Structure 1
Amino acid sequence: MSGSDVRMSAWGAVGLVAGREVSTRVRSKAFLATTGVTLLVLVAFTLVMKFLGGTGGADATVGFAGQTSVLEASLKATATSVGQEVETRAVADEARGREQVSDGDLDALLVGDGTSIQVVVKEELDAELRTALTVLAGNIELNQQIVDLGGDPGQVNQRVSQAAIDVRPIEAPRDFNGEQMVLGMVAGILIYMSLLINGQSVAQGVVEEKSSRVVELLLATIRPWQLMAGKVLGIGAVGLLQMGVIGGVGMGLAMAVGALTIEVSAAVGTVVWLVVWFLLGFVAYSLVFAALAALVSRQEDVGGVIMPPLLLVILGYVLGISILPGDPGNRLVEVLSMVPLFAPMLMPMRLAMGGVPAWQAGLAVVLVAALIPALVWLSGRVYRNAVMRSGAKVKLTDALRSA
């Protein structure tokens, strides 16, 4: 051999395959179309959330005529105590107030001398507003009884308002707000779709090369594990780019228009964890998809052979999306989010919602990271022993036994 003969390093071969996957897929119409459509949907969703948040306003608008103005502050406080937001508005007189109720500008109008609750509505009194007004009516009657007994209603109300219960929790409560809930669900959807689409792309790519005999040419110059690793890394890089663009644009837009009001640090933390869990989840599952896809030679057989691990991805997503919104501290989801099979779907949802102990997040990362080397060895063995065998489906046990 001449002195100019240069052999490609192992990771140089992996990089070459990965680069080919990136350049091919980034320029593909499918990548551009899915990214564009997803961005449009995300922008529309953000604007709708902003519109709904900006137009929600108060739960009810109540007008006060004449002497009932003395009840304005009391009604606001009472409504807040029963979980309702009431907007109050003074009207010139009862006749004008009735016109506004009839026109729909007011949900209710308080009339009378302020010593009792008399309310004018167009048709029916809202149930939640009825609750607030009933409580207020009870307070007015209580104050009157205190006066009749020679007491001071102001002093009694002050003492009552200062009365409190002493809560002593065994564990510190976890704080979950609505925006964190939405963020967690979006994180779960992004991870799920990325694993689903890009993971299956790995499997389909393996079968495509195997059925077209391209793999025979490639394996004449590089080793099977290098081809598999390069394909996984290349498609993973494309998926990461796509998710980064979608997640970055979506988060930036949501914060710019005010649909999300969480701190920037919390938003950045969510994006970082999203990237970490995409990489861990994609590498782990794609290694399995690539190995299983090597067992078959036809595209129509891909779905069946990768269905078992695909069901784990779907199950993790369904558990998270169905349980966490109503019960963020659910023990089952908490435990499963640290199990490597489900962690890539469940842990990013929990982290986006907040309240996850640092040790749980760290343990989940360590367990998945520790599983990956074992998957590299196992998947590499199956891939090496099956990818060159065309025709009938190769049994998994045969692929594991072959030398």
Structure 2
Amino acid sequence: MTNTDVRLGSWEAVGLVASREVKTKMRSKAFIITTVATLVLLVGFALVMKLVGGGSDATVGVTTQTGALAEPVKATASRIGVSVDVKTVDEKAGRSQVADGSLDALVVSDGTDGKLRVVVKKDLDGNLRDALNVLAGQVALNVSIADLGGDPAQVQAAVAKASVDVEPLEKPYPYQSGQLVLGIVAGILIYMSLLLNGQMVAQGVVEEKSSRVVELLLSTIRPWQLMAGKVLGIGFVGLVQMVVIGGVGIVAALGLDVLSISTSAAVGTVVWLVVWYLLGFVMYSLVFAALGALVSRQEDVGGVITPALMFVIVGYVIGISVLPSDPDNTLAEVLSVIPVFAPTLMPMRLAMGGVPVWEAVVSVGLVLALIPALVWLSGRIYANAVMRSGARVKLKDALRPA
């Protein structure tokens, strides 16, 4: 009696498992709904940014008596971060426009002493009040200078030219607001992709294990081939989703002129996003597949993968809470090079700019060096645990040689 080996070739088996995962996941309602919903949110966010960023913070009216203050009002408001439109109107018409909401404030002269009075409907916005208070101080100073026989314009010119000389020990990177926004969006996308697709791997392992499908599959292929095929298949689905979402998001942002960065910088961000998604997904999905094999019920998946998932969450939380206000934060810089935190932190820093080339190279190199070790370790755990049903398999038992 001859013993016929019905096992498939290594890569043929991996390819069959991967193609099965791709077909199943890309046709699922969850994949379609998640992709469409994310695209709608991104385009909607770009439209909101366009609408919010397109107008001024306030509209201020000046009369013929205070018309000379039109440019000083704009300049003073700009210095404290307030965008103001100024209109010259007749005082009576201006009061009517304040009443109907067309004007936020009307600046009128209170007499020959140069004191200013601001007409508002009910109350004056705090930022606008600060800007007009600064302006009132300048007007009062000009009056005092003129009373003393000086030239207010000459004094103001001298004051405007006065500044301190800054001597930086290190040249600062010129971060732009568009880069910071792009970094935040990149962090959110990579975090959501790792979170959803990584857990999908663990849930798929448990589903096959609990339904005993895995026993049938392992009669023709080896455990590591099943695990590798599942990781590659779901990873490819996530990659397609990432490229579509990232591409559409960048096109929408650039088309609506929301991001004030170059097209090459935007494309570079998408490329790095894809690279770090692939590195992060392969690294974490290997761990999730191994941990998923330890349990036999879907209810236990969350508990078994939570310790590994915490590294993804911690990296994301640090990035989203620290980097927007402090892009050069030392803790974030150090953690972004460590493999377990790099997939969430490094793409955010790269999108914001200013990352030394050696840091990007080292972070990628460390993850690439860790992946072969994870393949061996996860493969052993998966092979020893995936065929055991019932109670949760202890990690130390799964690590023992077969």
Q: TM-score, structure 1 length as denominator?
A: 0.92
Tell me by how many angstroms 1:8 deviates. 4.8
Does the Cα contact within 8 Å between 2:56 and 2:83 map onto a contact in 1?
Answer: yes
Letter in 2 for 1:68: T
Mapped partners of 2:78, 2:106: distance in 1: 18
Instruction: Tell me the residue number matched to 2:10.
Output: 10
Tell me by how many angstroms 1:6 deviates. 11
Instruction: Tell me the residue number matched to 2:377.
Output: 378
Instruction: Tell me the residue number matched to 1:42.
Output: 42
Residue 240 to residue 111, structure 1, CA distance change in 2 (3 Å): same
Letter in 2 for 1:19: S
Mapped partners of 2:163, 2:175: distance in 1: 24
Tell me by how many angstroms 1:383 deviates. 1.2
Letter in 2 for 1:297: S
Aligned pairs (5 A) from 1:108-187: 108-112=105-109, 115-187=114-186
Please give the secondary structure, in 1, of the residue aligned with 2:66.
helix
Aligned pairs (5 A) from 1:332-371: 332-371=331-370
Quick one: which of 71, 74, 83 aligns to 1:85? 83
Residue 208 to residue 129, structure 1, CA distance change in 2 (3 Å): closer
Give CA-to-partner distance per residue, 1:232-253, whole Å, 9 cap, x none. Answer: 0111001111121122122212
Instruction: Tell me the residue number matched to 1:100.
Output: 97
Q: CA RMSD in A?
A: 2.1
Residue 108 to residue 333, structure 1, CA distance change in 2 (3 Å): same
Mapped partners of 2:101, 2:341: distance in 1: 51
Tell me by how many angstroms 1:220 deviates. 2.4
Does the Cα contact within 8 Å between 1:207 and 1:294 map onto a contact in 2?
Answer: yes
User: After the TM superposition, which of the residue ranges 144-153 and 184-193 deviates more from structure 2?
Assistant: 144-153
Does the Cα contact within 8 Å between 1:10 and 1:226 map onto a contact in 2?
Answer: yes
Does the Cα contact within 8 Å between 2:7 and 2:221 map onto a contact in 1?
Answer: no
Residue 48 to residue 137, structure 1, CA distance change in 2 (3 Å): closer
Is residue 308 of structure 1 aligned with residue 332 of structure 2? no
Letter in 1 for 2:316: Y
Mapped partners of 2:138, 2:7: distance in 1: 89
Does the Cα contact within 8 Å between 1:117 and 1:133 map onto a contact in 2?
Answer: no
Letter in 2 for 1:102: A
Please give the secondary structure, in 1, of the residue aligned with 2:174.
coil
Tell me by how many angstroms 1:50 deviates. 2.4
Does the Cα contact within 8 Å between 1:62 and 1:107 map onto a contact in 2?
Answer: yes
Tell me by how many angstroms 1:129 deviates. 2.5
Is residue 198 of structure 1 aligned with residue 172 of structure 2? no
Does the Cα contact within 8 Å between 2:6 and 2:220 map onto a contact in 1?
Answer: no
Q: TM-score, structure 2 length as denominator?
A: 0.92
Residue 179 to residue 394, structure 1, CA distance change in 2 (3 Å): same
Q: Which runs of 5+ in 1 are unaligned?
A: none
Aligned pairs (5 A) from 1:278-297: 278-297=277-296
Mapped partners of 2:301, 2:116: distance in 1: 70
User: After the TM superposition, which of the residue ranges 226-235 and 19-28 deviates more from structure 2?
Assistant: 19-28
Mapped partners of 1:390, 1:233: distance in 2: 25
Give CA-to-partner distance per residue, 1:231-282, whole Å, 9 cap, x none. Answer: 1011100111112112212221222223333211111111111101110110
Letter in 2 for 1:46: A
User: After the TM superposition, which of the residue ranges 337-346 and 259-268 deviates more from structure 2?
Assistant: 259-268
Please give the secondary structure, in 2, of the residue aligned with 1:87.
strand
Mapped partners of 1:180, 1:253: distance in 2: 15
Aligned pairs (5 A) from 1:199-218: 199-218=198-217
Is residue 399 of structure 1 aligned with residue 398 of structure 2? yes
Give CA-to-partner distance per residue, 1:160-213, whole Å, 9 cap, x none. Answer: 222221101112223333322222222111111111111111111112222222
Residue 86 to residue 48, structure 1, CA distance change in 2 (3 Å): closer
Mapped partners of 1:31, 1:130: distance in 2: 50
Instruction: Tell me the residue number matched to 1:61.
Output: 59
Does the Cα contact within 8 Å between 2:180 and 2:351 map onto a contact in 1?
Answer: yes
Letter in 2 for 1:95: K
Give CA-to-partner distance per residue, 1:32-72, whole Å, 9 cap, x none. Answer: 22222222333333322222223xx2222222212211222
Mapped partners of 2:47, 2:107: distance in 1: 37
Letter in 2 for 1:321: I
- How many aligned positions are there? 396
Mapped partners of 2:100, 2:47: distance in 1: 30
Residue 141 to residue 384, structure 1, CA distance change in 2 (3 Å): same
Please give the secondary structure, in 2, of the residue aligned with 1:259.
coil
